[in-house]
Amino acid sequence: MAVLVVADHDNSALKDNTHKVVTAALAISGDVDVLVAGTNTAALAGEAAKIAGVRKVLTAESAELGQGLAEAFQDVVAGLMGGYDAVLTPATTQGKNFSPRVAAKLDVAQISDVIEVVDANTFVRPIYAGNALETVQSSDAKKVLTVRPTAFKAAAEGGSASVESVSAPAAPAKSRFVDQQIVKSARPDLGAAKIVVSGGRAMGSAEEFQAVIEPLADKLGAAVGASRAAVDAGYAPNDYQVGQTGKVVAPELYVAIGISGAIQHLAGMKDSKVIVAINKDPDAPIFQVADYGLVADYKAAVPELMSALAAAGK
């Protein structure tokens, strides 16, 4: 059986999510091909071809694919599924956008947010905001999965797959890209960072969030996250949101500052290796999952932490 992985990229660089989903795909089958759909695919395909274990890289190039239009992705992916038994897509907003369309076109179930491949037909996924894990067995001839990248290790480099191009379907007439506003950041990508520093409602303002959370993140070389409360209050942009409805992260170190720890937030970070909580409320639920808890007002604790880090040579 052969498996297709849809690459995650921003038209300029391949994202690490692609490597992680390749690992999940290799657990299903040894024959893993990667589809790079978008613009600038020749360079991206070169990167994908280097992932160890990849058999072949397919490229599909069009402006609509570059803009991420779900209808265009549906057509190209569903069109390739004659030759594949499964398609795996990273559970990013882009993957979540088009993958169910592919499943519906193939008349099969989608298995969303897979965190473990048990065998070629059996998968584990979180439900109820991560409060339960469901093991499902598919009876469909073709499987359509979205994969939670943070649950898998990135496949190594060192492959030398062949590259071939496939035709991109005609432009979808019913939807058009207007524009986008992408938040520019020099910090590591939230989904892939080794350390994440997150702030919550306790920050009180966007200025305070920037003054407290961002310098600490920079000192640690960390990505910045936020709770939904902080995002809704306008303290942080919404793509910082960690949680059931935002991003799911699993860094080595997650530092939650002024975050109470609602179940929707925990769903997005409780698989982090080490969790640190700084909160002045000793009864905050975040302390139930924190490996190290500091009961203190962040206003005093964060500057102390900064100087302790400096003293420790950071």
Nearer to another protein by Cβ, of 42 and 141: the residue is 141
Distance in angstroms (rounded) separating the CA atoms of residues 312 and 243? 31
Site for another protein, residues 62 to 91, rule: CB under 8 A: 68-71, 74
| 43-57 b/e (C-beta count within 10 Å ≥ 16 → b) | ebbebbbbbebbebb
**Binding-site string for another protein from residue 136 to residue 175, where x marks contact by CB under 8 A and - marks none:** xxxxx-------------------------------xxxx
Q: Which of 55, 105, 201, 280 binds another protein (CB under 8 A)?
A: 105
Among 19-27, 41-49, 199-207, 271-279, which window interacts with another protein (CB under 8 A)?
271-279
User: Does 274 interact with another protein (rule: CB under 8 A)?
Assistant: yes
Query: Dihedral sign, CA of 295, 308, 292, 247?
Result: positive
Distance in angstroms (rounded) separating the CA atoms of residues 211 and 2? 50
Distance in angstroms (rounded) separating the CA atoms of residues 217 and 187? 8
Q: How many CA within 13 A on the CB side of residue 275?
A: 21
Distance in angstroms (rounded) separating the CA atoms of residues 222 and 216? 8
Write out the two tokens for 191.
Answer: 């989904």
Contacts of 297 (CB under 8 A, 6+ apart): 280
Q: Which of 32, 65, 80, 108 binds another protein (CB under 8 A)?
A: 108
**Binding-site string for another protein from residue 40 to residue 59, where x marks contact by CB under 8 A and - marks none:** --------------------
Nearer to another protein by Cβ, of 21 and 161: the residue is 21
CB of 265 to another protein, least distance (A): 12
Could you tell me how far CA 181 lies from the centroid of its own chain?
A: 19
Report the Cα–Cα distance between both ends of the chain, in Å, rounded: 49
Q: Which of 2, 52, 104, 163 binds another protein (CB under 8 A)?
A: 104
User: Does 94 interact with another protein (rule: CB under 8 A)?
Assistant: yes
Relative to beta strand 116-119, strand 122-127 is antiparallel
Q: What is the largest CA-CA distance in the chain?
A: 61
Site for another protein, residues 10 to 39, rule: CB under 8 A: 10
DSSP 126: E
Distance in angstroms (rounded) separating the CA atoms of residues 68 and 10? 9
Nearer to another protein by Cβ, of 34 and 222: the residue is 222
Q: Which of 18, 41, 112, 260 binds another protein (CB under 8 A)?
A: 112
Helix (H) or strand (E) holding 256, with range, is strand 253-257
SS3 123: strand
User: Does 314 interact with another protein (rule: CB under 8 A)?
Assistant: yes
Nearer to another protein by Cβ, of 40 and 92: the residue is 92
User: Does 122 interact with another protein (rule: CB under 8 A)?
Assistant: yes
User: Does 113 interact with another protein (rule: CB under 8 A)?
Assistant: yes
- Interface with another protein (CB under 8 A), residue total 94
Nearer to another protein by Cβ, of 49 and 129: the residue is 129
Q: Which of 12, 167, 205, 238 binds another protein (CB under 8 A)?
A: 238
Nearer to another protein by Cβ, of 210 and 264: the residue is 264
Site for another protein, residues 179 to 198, rule: CB under 8 A: 179-183, 191, 195
Distance in angstroms (rounded) separating the CA atoms of residues 228 and 233? 8
CB of 162 to another protein, least distance (A): 30
Site for another protein, residues 195 to 224, rule: CB under 8 A: 195, 220
